[in-house]
């Protein structure tokens, strides 16, 4: 049995329970005095006048005590609950036992000042949240739970970060994510800018000093020192003076004044640092911490302090030099062990770290950053937002390619803000990305039009050649086709865009082998639109929306930012997923504009069959050839046929044969003859054109040969082909005819052999 | 999940449930003293409480049910609660099955039982022993040879389900199962040719729990007298098995009777005989928990029956000296409303769960008082 404990007196003067005025204090006293609760016993009430008006209720709790304890918590503990009259902060729980141990989650000082009685740190939620569900019983249980867990050493869940050694200051310091990476003998100096927080505090932002030019604008300069390893979790009183800090660090095996003298002396020797003596000093101390006394170093706790005196003044008081006519001269002889004059005030700083690429990935729930090289072509509304979504999650090493500058009307939907009006989008966006992610740049801008890069041609070509991925967010079919067909690079091409009404987002992603190139994915997307009745309105333009150009990926429409953000959110996630797999993807997300539901649909893309004939490149696929073969089978022994739909790229002389329409009802189908009819055909073709916004059109004819016959053209076939040539040739388009034979399909473009 | 020991408040009667970290459930004695007709009866409805725990675990059986002996304060109501294999009258959907029944040899051998409930349980144990399945008998094997022979069974064919004192119960290894059971009684010394005395031939065991390397021990002392305890201490120490006497949780013998400590009740404190004193003061661990499965401790000596305040005072002294606890089931957490006593056994040893029950947590854990308009008496 432990010795009978000695209890400290609770703050304030005794007062009758009936005379309590603070409602929460009254209620706690009432609950305790009713005597209906187990494991707690009322002792007394008190009124506190200093440092601020408060009332205290003193009681004893019985702790759910295990047999084997990590910390010396007793079966019975006396607690004073102190309630501020203004109820502005959590009621404080003071453990009154005189030898109550110094354990984790104890506040550095209590409201009555000093380390004793110990003030239990009960809550990590803001008080205004806790107030909502406040009951006296829950408060008592919180205290009992705190004591029971602390006894078992369980209050630190294993995955929780370690206790900060110093608590509660209002000033903050932002350090680089790897502040102690510098050379061992002299850790780097950091330049510090001060940002006022308008609440009476400052945030000091520290950066590595690249060159002396940077010294001018600095308010502070930071030096860092590293102490020996120390067991974690014991919060001490925050040092408020340099001497006290020295004493505390002495426990961690550090001679602080000696360290500082050494630093200052080395500055003094180097001309480069002389002007820094005029800056106020920030001291950064790394304390490697272990979870248990003999454990391995788990984290390095970092403290930082700001001084109101300059480095030069502190150096002078440490006897490193003397100020003579505003210049610091070296003191001859040994410096004394102490600080000259009164103590130097220190302001403790809350330390946080710059947002690194690793942090970006971790905070987004992705283990590691992904460093694949991505060229973003087009960083407009959708592109800029997809880009930043991915950057913020540590994804990609980027080049941003865009010729446009940010104009006021862009602000409706662009990632950039009004600060960037007039700047090239590619430039400004790369700057935002690089300012967001600390360290090596994540984005390099190339202000150029990928279609006519001019003097940037070499840069663009090199970027595309080295890329792992080319992200086309240009909202331009021409750019997509250019990237698909004109650029020699193994990079996977991906397009993201939304439809003219803004109701649906689309992603076309090549497979890793590029067997389904981007332009062929585009064609399949159109084929999908004409085959799926629900997608019939997909490319329909909403009436009354502003149109700058006729394009099915019209960007400058009156689409609200929330829809763009939605498609950007879907797009960045989908992109990440698609690039994580090898296969090609054609996916579409439709938003219901009334209830804002998003529905995903997906096509299984086919590989392209490419043939070069008569100066033209023909692209089609097995899917289409099989479709017309099946129609032949069904009509045997008769011949059958119909028209082909697809698209021309007149610039590159590419013909895409995408789909076939069935034989019109007035066609003549005999075992050795087929005359394609025309009933409703004009309407059918017009429907295809309407659904695809003119992207798919009539491109030629197909018909079948009877049983046992191959696809070689007959005399009649040649005559029909000549008829096609005559009509299509007027438009500069080649005649195209597919003939389905017994075993294969003949594809004739331009000329018949 | 930690191991859990639950002791039910059933007046002067024993019912202790062990729930292992892997979900296995072992019940030591079943005595349901709840009486819905009697408003002053504060015993928990054991049948309902146990079923609630089984339903929560989606089980319809206990892995082990042990009966230390056949007295009412260890078996009351058992034949209404359990599914018994030997007789279809004790079978049915809502009855709880017993995978393995643990009994001392006396429970098989005893003749001329007077109480019907004891007879039925004996029939069940005998049936299982004859079948050779779902039972473990604690005895010197030789003692059962004749009984088995009369039923045409060779002792050798049943030896694997018979465990002698001084050994471990097969099937439980503390490293793997998180618990092992050491058998203290019944022991041969007392069984040889002597008259059967239930409290001497009761099942007394020590369970050693292992949780992540931390060992905690539960001592199940049945209704042992100080003579039996003395024998146990002496035999165990003679065999240098001292650690088998250690306890972190002690189910106190015989509802806090002074006779488990000494023949001399003492004026205010019973002074135990030497070996029993050793059991409590030397083998009891720091912050150990003593559980008296009994009615509240009386303030006077008006009742001859246990619990006896003098014995309680001795235990309180032991608790004080070891920073331990002395808990009376019918007083926990308070006499006006006893609740099952729950002891968590984990890496920090054993501890009594102590949540403040108040407010809405109370409201939802019991029936609401009658509400609504009562129907008019007539018309």
- Kindly tell me if the per-residue pLDDT of B372 is higher than 70: no
Condensed to tens digits (0 to 9), the pLDDT of residues B301-352 reads: 999 999 999 999 999 999 999 999 999 999 999 899 899 999 999 999 999 9
**A457 vs A397, A454, A635, B28, B285, CA distance in Å?**
20, 5, 55, 86, 83
- Asked if the peptide bond before residue A117 counts as cis, ω within 30 degrees of 0, the response is yes
- Kindly tell me if the per-residue pLDDT of A295 is higher than 80: no
Using pLDDT thresholds of 50, 70 and 90, give the confidence band for residue A184.
very low
Pick from A63, A65, A137: which is nearest to B358 by CB? A137
Average pLDDT over every residue of A483-512:
94
- Kindly tell me if the per-residue pLDDT of A732 is higher than 90: no
Strand pairing category for B214-220 and B247-251: parallel
pLDDT of res. A219: 80
Nearest 5°: phi and psi at A28?
A: -65, -45
Q: What DSSP letter does each residue of A91-138 carry, written as one string?
A: PEEEE-BTT----SSEESS-TTSSS-SEEE----S-HHHHHTT--HHH
Starting at the earlier edge strand, list the strands of the sheet with B325-328.
B179-185, B204-211, B214-220, B247-251, B284-292, B325-328
B94 Cβ contact partners less than 8 Å away, ≥ 6 residues apart? none
Closest residue in B to A149 (Cα) is: B348
Judge whether A320 and A335 are in contact, CB under 8 Å: yes
Does residue A644 sit in helix, strand or coil? Answer: strand
**Residue B368 lies inside a defined structural domain of this protein:** no
Helix A518-531 and helix A477-485, axial crossing angle in degrees, nearest 10: 130
B183 Cβ contact partners less than 8 Å away, ≥ 6 residues apart? B138, B163, B164, B165, B166, B167, B168, B169, B203, B204, B205
**Residue B377 lies inside a defined structural domain of this protein:** no
pLDDT of res. B35: 93
Greater confidence (A188 vs B334) lies with: B334
Q: What is the mean pLDDT of chain A?
A: 86
| First CA to last CA distance, chain B | 58
pLDDT of res. A235: 41
Query: What is the count of residue pairs from A and B with beta carbons less than 8 Å apart?
Result: 60
Give the rounded percent of residues in chain A with a pLDDT score beyond 70. 88
Tell me whether B323 touches chain A (CB under 8 Å). Answer: yes
Residue with structure tokens 């949540």?
Answer: B355
Strand pairing category for B97-104 and A736-740: unpaired
Predicted-complex ipTM score:
0.88
Using pLDDT thresholds of 50, 70 and 90, give the confidence band for residue A159.
very low
B148 Cβ contact partners less than 8 Å away, ≥ 6 residues apart? B129, B154, B155, B158
Judge whether B333 and A38 are in contact, CB under 8 Å: yes
Average pLDDT over every residue of B65-80:
95
Q: Do A64 and B352 touch (CB under 8 A)?
A: yes
Does residue B282 sit in helix, strand or coil? Answer: coil
Judge whether B67 and B29 are in contact, CB under 8 Å: yes
Q: Give chain A positions within 8 Å (CB) of B348.
A: 66-69, 152
- CA nearest neighbour of B226 among B189, B254, B203, B268: B254
Burial of A601: CB neighbours in 10 Å, binned 0-12, 13-18, 19+: middle
pLDDT of res. B86: 96
- CA nearest neighbour of B67 among B86, B85, B82, B50: B82
Does residue A694 sit in helix, strand or coil? Answer: coil
- Kindly tell me if the per-residue pLDDT of A289 is higher than 70: no
pLDDT of res. A300: 65
Q: Do A137 and B356 touch (CB under 8 A)?
A: yes
pLDDT of res. A312: 85
Q: What does chain B come to in residues?
A: 379
Report the range of poorest mean pLDDT among A178-187, A222-231, A445-454: A178-187
Q: Where are the alpha helices (DSSP H) in chain B?
A: 46-56, 72-75, 78-81, 105-109, 116-131, 145-150, 174-177, 188-191, 226-238, 274-281, 309-321, 360-363
Condensed to tens digits (0 to 9), the pLDDT of residues A87-139 reads: 988 899 999 999 999 887 887 667 777 778 999 988 877 788 888 888 899 99
Region of residue A304 (phi > 0: left; psi between -120 and 50: alpha; otherwise: beta): beta
**A451-460 long-range contacts, CB within 8 A, separation 24+:** A451/A478, A451/A479, A451/A482, A460/A401
A474 Cβ contact partners less than 8 Å away, ≥ 6 residues apart? A377, A378, A380, A383, A450, A480
pLDDT of res. A252: 74
Using pLDDT thresholds of 50, 70 and 90, give the confidence band for residue A193.
confident
Condensed to tens digits (0 to 9), the pLDDT of residues A687-703 reads: 999 999 889 999 999 99
Using pLDDT thresholds of 50, 70 and 90, give the confidence band for residue A168.
very low
Judge whether A708 and A632 are in contact, CB under 8 Å: no
**Residue B370 lies inside a defined structural domain of this protein:** no
pLDDT of res. A494: 97
- Kindly tell me if the per-residue pLDDT of A297 is higher than 60: no
Q: Do B334 and A38 touch (CB under 8 A)?
A: yes
Q: Give chain B positions within 8 Å (CB) of A2.
A: 323
Condensed to tens digits (0 to 9), the pLDDT of residues A343-359 reads: 888 888 888 889 999 99
Q: Provide the 10 A C-beta neighbour count for residue A241.
A: 15
Using pLDDT thresholds of 50, 70 and 90, give the confidence band for residue A290.
low
Q: Do A66 and B287 touch (CB under 8 A)?
A: yes
Measure the CA–CA gap between B8 and B15, rounded to whole angstroms: 6
Rg (CA), chain B: 21
Average pLDDT over every residue of A168-186:
67
Q: Do B214 and A65 touch (CB under 8 A)?
A: no
- Kindly tell me if the per-residue pLDDT of A587 is higher than 60: yes
**Residue B367 lies inside a defined structural domain of this protein:** no
Using pLDDT thresholds of 50, 70 and 90, give the confidence band for residue B78.
very high
User: Taking the mean position of all CA atoms in its chain, how far away is CA A552?
Assistant: 30
B104 Cβ contact partners less than 8 Å away, ≥ 6 residues apart? B68, B69, B137, B138, B139, B185, B186, B201, B202, B203
Average pLDDT over every residue of A730-752:
90
Q: Do B349 and A2 touch (CB under 8 A)?
A: no
Measure the CA–CA gap between A299 and B141, rounded to whole angstroms: 61
Judge whether A485 and A519 are in contact, CB under 8 Å: yes
Does residue A30 sit in helix, strand or coil? Answer: helix
Measure the CA–CA gap between A231 and A78, rounded to whole angstroms: 28
Smallest Cα distance from B327 to chain A, Å: 13
What does the block give as tokens for A451? 């279609």
Condensed to tens digits (0 to 9), the pLDDT of residues A233-263 reads: 444 556 778 888 888 788 777 888 888 888 8
Q: Give chain A positions within 8 Å (CB) of B333.
A: 38-39
Average pLDDT over every residue of B69-79:
95
Q: Do B357 and A135 touch (CB under 8 A)?
A: no
Does residue A575 sit in helix, strand or coil? Answer: helix
Tell me whether B322 touches chain A (CB under 8 Å). Answer: yes
Q: Do A38 and B357 touch (CB under 8 A)?
A: yes
Q: Do A38 and B351 touch (CB under 8 A)?
A: no
Per the structure, the complete domain to which residue B291 belongs is given by: 3-362
pLDDT of res. B379: 38
Q: Which superfamily does CATH assign the domain made up of A609-749 to?
A: Cytidine Deaminase, domain 2 (3.40.140.10)
Using pLDDT thresholds of 50, 70 and 90, give the confidence band for residue B244.
very high
Pick from B349, B356, B357: which is nearest to A67 by CB? B349
- Asked if the peptide bond before residue B200 counts as cis, ω within 30 degrees of 0, the response is no
- CA nearest neighbour of A305 among A193, A183, A166, A490: A166
Residue with structure tokens 């050795």?
Answer: A672
Q: Do B358 and A36 touch (CB under 8 A)?
A: yes
Pick from A66, A69, A140: which is nearest to B356 by CB? A140
Q: Would you report the helix, strand and coil content of chain B in percent, each value rounded to 5?
A: 30, 25, 45
**Kind and range of the H or E run holding A225:** strand A220-226
A245 Cβ contact partners less than 8 Å away, ≥ 6 residues apart? A239, A256, A283, A305, A346
**A475 vs A463, A468, A514, A519, A567, CA distance in Å?**
20, 21, 21, 14, 13
Measure the CA–CA gap between B175 and B212, rounded to whole angstroms: 9
pLDDT of res. A232: 47
Smallest Cα distance from A596 to chain B, Å: 40
Report the range of poorest mean pLDDT among A453-462, A672-681, B12-21, B255-264: A672-681
**Residue B378 lies inside a defined structural domain of this protein:** no
Secondary structure in 3-state letters for A491-531: CEEEEEEECCCCCEEEEEECCCCCCCCHHHHHHHHHHHHHH
Judge whether A352 and A172 are in contact, CB under 8 Å: yes
Condensed to tens digits (0 to 9), the pLDDT of residues A632-686 reads: 999 989 999 999 999 999 889 999 999 999 999 998 998 888 999 888 898 999 9
Using pLDDT thresholds of 50, 70 and 90, give the confidence band for residue B200.
low
Using pLDDT thresholds of 50, 70 and 90, give the confidence band for residue B201.
confident
Measure the CA–CA gap between A267 and A261, rounded to whole angstroms: 10
Is the C-alpha dihedral spanning B163, B164, B165, B168 positive or negative? negative
Average pLDDT over every residue of A511-530:
95
Measure the CA–CA gap between A309 and A313, rounded to whole angstroms: 6
Average pLDDT over every residue of B13-26:
96
Burial of B157: CB neighbours in 10 Å, binned 0-12, 13-18, 19+: exposed
Condensed to tens digits (0 to 9), the pLDDT of residues B282-308 reads: 999 999 999 999 999 999 999 999 999
Give the rounded percent of residues in chain B with a pLDDT score beyond 70. 91
Q: Provide the domain count of chain B.
A: 1
User: Taking the mean position of all CA atoms in its chain, how far away is CA A278?
Assistant: 39
Q: Which superfamily does CATH assign the domain made up of A359-603 to?
A: NAD(P)-binding Rossmann-like Domain (3.40.50.720)
- Kindly tell me if the per-residue pLDDT of A549 is higher than 70: no
- Kindly tell me if the per-residue pLDDT of B246 is higher than 50: yes
- Kindly tell me if the per-residue pLDDT of A158 is higher than 50: no
CATH number, domain containing residue B308? 3.60.15.10
């Amino acid at each position: 049995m432990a010795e009978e404990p000695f209890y400290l007196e609770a703050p304030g003067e005794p007062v009758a329970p009936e005379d309590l005025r603070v409602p929460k204090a009254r209620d706690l006293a009432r609950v305790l005095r009713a005597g209906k609760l187990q494991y707690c016993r009322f002792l007394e009430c008190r009124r506190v006048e200093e440092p601020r008006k408060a009332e205290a209720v003193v009681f004893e709790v019985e702790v759910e005590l295990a047999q084997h304890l990590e910390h010396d918590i007793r079966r019975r503990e006396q607690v004073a609950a102190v309630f501020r009259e203004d109820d502005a902060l959590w009621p404080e729980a003071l453990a009154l036992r005189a030898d109550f141990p110094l354990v984790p989650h104890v506040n550095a000082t209590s409201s009555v000042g000093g380390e004793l009685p110990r003030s239990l740190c009960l809550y990590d939620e803001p008080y205004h949240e806790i107030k909502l569900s406040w009951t006296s019983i829950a408060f008592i249980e919180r205290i009992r739970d705190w004591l029971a867990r602390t006894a078992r050493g369980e209050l630190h869940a294993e995955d929780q970060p370690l206790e900060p050694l110093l608590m509660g200051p209002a000033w903050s310091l932002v350090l680089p994510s790897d502040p102690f990476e510098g050379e061992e003998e002299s850790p780097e100096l950091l330049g510090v800018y001060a940002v006022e927080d308008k609440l009476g505090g400052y945030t000091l932002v520290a950066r590595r000093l690249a060159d002396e030019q940077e010294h001018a604008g600095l308010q502070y300069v930071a030096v860092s020192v590293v102490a020996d390893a120390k067991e974690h979790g014991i919060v001490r009183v925050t040092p408020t003076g340099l001497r006290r800090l020295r004493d505390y660090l002495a426990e961690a095996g550090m001679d602080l004044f000696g360290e500082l003298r050494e630093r200052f002396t080395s500055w003094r020797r180097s001309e480069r640092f002389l002007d820094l003596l005029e800056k106020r000093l920030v001291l950064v101390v790394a304390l490697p911490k272990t979870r248990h006394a003999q454990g391995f170093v788990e984290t390095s706790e970092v403290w930082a302090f700001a001084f109101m005196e300059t480095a030069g003044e502190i150096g002078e008081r440490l006897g490193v030099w003397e100020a003579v006519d505003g210049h610091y001269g070296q003191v001859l002889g040994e410096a004394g062990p102490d600080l000259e004059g009164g103590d130097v005030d220190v302001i403790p700083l809350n330390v946080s770290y710059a947002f690194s690429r690793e942090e970006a990935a971790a905070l987004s729930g992705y283990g590691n950053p992904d460093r694949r090289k991505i060229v973003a072509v087009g960083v407009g509304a959708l592109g800029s937002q997809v880009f930043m979504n991915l950057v913020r999650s540590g994804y990609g090493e980027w080049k941003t390619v865009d010729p446009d500058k940010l104009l006021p009307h862009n602000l409706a939907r662009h990632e950039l803000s009004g600060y960037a009006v007039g700047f090239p989008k590619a430039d400004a966006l790369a700057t935002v990305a690089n300012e967001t992610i600390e360290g090596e740049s994540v984005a390099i801008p190339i202000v150029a039009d990928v279609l006519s890069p001019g003097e940037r041609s070499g840069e663009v070509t090199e970027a595309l050649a080295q890329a792992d991925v080319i992200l086309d967010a240009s909202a331009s079919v021409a750019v997509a086709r250019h990237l698909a067909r004109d650029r020699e690079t193994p990079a996977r091409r991906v397009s993201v865009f939304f439809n003219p009404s803004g109701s649906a987002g689309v992603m076309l992603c090549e497979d890793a082998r590029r067997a389904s190139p981007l332009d062929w994915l585009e064609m399949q997307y159109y084929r999908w639109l004409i085959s799926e009745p629900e997608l019939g309105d997909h490319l329909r333009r909403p009436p009354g929306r502003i149109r700058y150009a006729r394009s099915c990926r019209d960007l400058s429409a009156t689409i609200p930012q929330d829809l763009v953000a939605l498609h950007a959110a879907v797009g960045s996630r989908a992109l990440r997923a698609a690039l994580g797999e090898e296969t090609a993807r054609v996916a579409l997300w439709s938003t219901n504009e009334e209830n804002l539901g998003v529905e995903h649909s997906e096509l299984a893309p086919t590989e392209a069959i490419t043939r070069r004939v008569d100066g033209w490149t023909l692209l089609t696929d097995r899917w289409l050839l099989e479709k017309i073969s099946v129609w032949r089978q069904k009509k045997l022994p008769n011949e059958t046929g119909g028209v082909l739909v697809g698209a021309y790229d007149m610039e590159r002389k590419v013909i895409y044969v995408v789909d076939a329409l069935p034989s019109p009802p007035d066609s003549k189908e005999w075992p050795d003859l087929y005359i394609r009819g025309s009933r409703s055909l004009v309407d059918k073709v017009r429907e295809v054109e309407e659904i695809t916004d003119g992207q798919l059109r009539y491109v030629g004819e197909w018909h079948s040969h009877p049983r046992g016959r191959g696809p070689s053209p007959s005399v009649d076939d040649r005559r029909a082909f000549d008829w096609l040539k005559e009509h299509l040739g007027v438009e500069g388009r080649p005649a195209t005819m597919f003939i389905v034979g017994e075993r294969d399909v003949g594809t004739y473009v331009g000329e018949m052999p | 999940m930690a191991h859990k020991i639950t002791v039910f408040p059933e007046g002067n009667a024993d019912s202790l449930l062990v729930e292992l970290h892997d979900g296995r459930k072992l019940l030591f004695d079943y005595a349901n003293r709840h009486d819905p007709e009697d408003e002053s009866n504060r015993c928990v409805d054991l049948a309902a409480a146990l079923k609630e725990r089984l339903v929560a675990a989606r089980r319809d059986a206990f892995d082990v049910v042990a009966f230390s002996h056949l007295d009412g304060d260890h078996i009351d109501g058992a034949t209404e609660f359990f599914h018994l294999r030997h007789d279809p009258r004790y079978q049915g959907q809502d009855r709880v099955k017993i995978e393995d029944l643990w009994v001392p040899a006396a429970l098989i051998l005893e003749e001329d039982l007077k109480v019907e409930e004891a007879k039925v349980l004996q029939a069940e144990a005998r049936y299982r022993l004859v079948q050779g399945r779902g039972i473990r008998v604690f005895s010197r094997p030789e003692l059962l040879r004749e009984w088995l022979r009369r039923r045409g069974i060779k002792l050798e064919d049943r030896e694997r389900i018979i465990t002698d004192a001084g050994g471990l119960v097969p099937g439980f290894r503390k490293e793997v199962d998180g618990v092992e059971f050491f058998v203290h009684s019944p022991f041969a010394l007392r069984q040889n040719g002597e008259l059967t005395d239930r409290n001497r031939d009761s099942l007394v065991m020590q369970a050693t729990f292992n949780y992540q390397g931390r060992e905690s021990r539960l001592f199940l002392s049945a209704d042992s007298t100080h003579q039996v305890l003395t024998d146990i201490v002496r035999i165990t120490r003679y065999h240098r098995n001292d650690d088998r006497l250690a306890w972190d949780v002690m189910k106190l013998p015989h509802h806090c009777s002074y006779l488990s400590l000494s023949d001399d009740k003492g004026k205010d404190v019973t002074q135990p005989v030497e070996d029993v004193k050793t059991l409590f003061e030397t083998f009891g661990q720091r912050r150990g928990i003593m559980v008296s499965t009994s009615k509240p401790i009386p303030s006077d000596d008006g009742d001859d029956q246990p619990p006896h305040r003098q014995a309680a005072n001795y235990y309180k002294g032991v608790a004080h000296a070891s920073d331990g606890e002395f808990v009376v089931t019918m007083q926990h957490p308070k006499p006006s409303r006893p609740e099952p006593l729950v002891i968590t056994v984990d890496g920090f040893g054993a501890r009594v769960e102590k949540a403040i029950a108040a407010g809405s947590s109370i409201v939802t854990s019991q029936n609401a008082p009658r509400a609504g308009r009562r129907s008019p008496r007539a018309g």
